[in-house]
Amino acid sequence: MDHLETARVRGDFPLLERTVGGARLAYLDSGATAQKPTCVIDAEQDFLTRTNAAVHRGAHTLAVEATDAFEAGRSAVAGFVGAAVEEIVWTKNATESLNVVAYGFANASAGFGGDEAARFRVGPGDSIVVTEMEHHANLVPWQQLALRTGAELRWLPLTDDGHLDLTDLTGIVDSTTRVLAFTHVSNVLGTINDAARLVARAREVGAYTVLDACQSAAHMPLDLHALDVDFAAFSGHKMLGPTGVGALYGKKELLDALPPVLTGGSMITTVTMEETGFLPAPQRFEAGTQPVAQIVGLAAAVGYLDEIGMDVVAAHETAIGAALLTGVQDVPGIRVLGPLDPTERIGAVAFDVEGVHAHDVGQFLDSRGVAARVGHHCAQPLHRRYGITASTRASAAIYTDSTDVEQFLAALAEVRPFFGATG
């Protein structure tokens, strides 16, 4: 986008008008949570003030309108990620989505779900494969599944320049592998992984694929059918939508066979005192009251992104990312994590400042009005691989402009001198 287009987009995000400590706010923490355009805020408020009611539970006017809005949100999100409507399950976030899959496998391995669920059973002699760059949300559930079932947990390692090391892909993902879980885009390194190659290898050995799409759904065109993954997870709050709502994608025949994890109301066919029958997907995974207002807000968010066009979003963020990457590399005493080619990553740059702890870096940046993420970013094994415990990350979104980049780089150049780490 040009300067005028970026300015127009920024005008849709009221929070960006505020100041921090008297300085203009440069919000560079969109990788953690994105800001919300007015249309999303208005959509939630309008639903709550005009339509609020329980969905799929009443025949009165408000209940019908609320149910229609609830399912219209499902249709909008499904279209946005290249899925069928019945393949989108509502959750509260991507972490829950990934746990639904992992614990579904655990339930199947314990004998639940009957013959249909037998395909998901995992046990001794089987392997589960993840990667060394995973967010904890796509690592810990698989660790737990391995512990519960006796399966072996393996991982694809990282190269020094922030890519997956696929040298031994066929040795790690082999005939014993039941699950290959991997992130589409690293939340720390920004690396865009070769999903097609990973899925192809999983298909060769009959393994199920589980994709963490949190950092791709918000920043680049996403077509889950084209990727041919079996399951995928993403969160609304990273893609300009509300908090408290996420989605699980699964191929319909797999979702219908996967044992549910949460049980109760709204996901049943019949209940007696002795047994219960479950609805097919997606309702079988949507026990209890759902985040309806947040789903309406998420539908508005994907509509907003669709109107701009995800090709435009990706191009804008690649340009911003290139400016961030070049600028950070030009500051003495800073080590960039991840690929140095901006076309191989999204618009997020994590780095280590020599002689200054990441939390001190973040506080200094904040004093200059710059909001950036610090810590291990829920990816401790990744940081350990690169010999550090924490890093600082600047991450862009569609509303990030060149002034944000300049303000951030000017503040970053002051960090080491301020802390006396100029040697």
Class of domain 3-30+309-416: alpha beta
Q: Which two three-digit tokens encode residue 147?
A: 């512990």
pLDDT value of position 423: 63
pLDDT value of position 404: 98
Residues 101, 144: Cα–Cα separation, whole Å = 12
As annotated, the active-site residues are 378
Q: For tokens 């950036």, name the residue.
A: 372
Which residue numbers in the chain have pLDDT < 70? 423
pLDDT value of position 422: 76
Element holding 392 (H helix, E strand)? strand 391-395
Q: What residue ranges do the domains of the chain occupy? A: 3-30+309-416, 44-306
413, burial (CB in 10 Å: exposed 0-12, middle 13-18, buried 19+): middle
Kindly list the distances between the CA atom of residue 102 and the CA atoms of 81, 152, 214, 271, 284, in Å, as whole numbers in the listed order: 22, 14, 17, 26, 16
Q: What are the tens digits of pLDDT across the range 357-415?
A: 999 999 999 999 999 999 999 999 999 999 999 999 999 999 999 999 999 999 999 99
Q: What are the tens digits of pLDDT across the range 273-330?
A: 999 999 999 999 999 999 999 999 999 999 999 999 999 999 999 999 999 999 999 9
CB within 8 Å of 15: residues ≥ 6 apart:
25, 27, 35, 36
Name the DSSP class of 168: T
Class of domain 44-306: alpha beta
pLDDT value of position 3: 85
Residues 135, 191: Cα–Cα separation, whole Å = 13
User: Cis peptide before 282, with omega less than 30 degrees from 0?
Assistant: yes
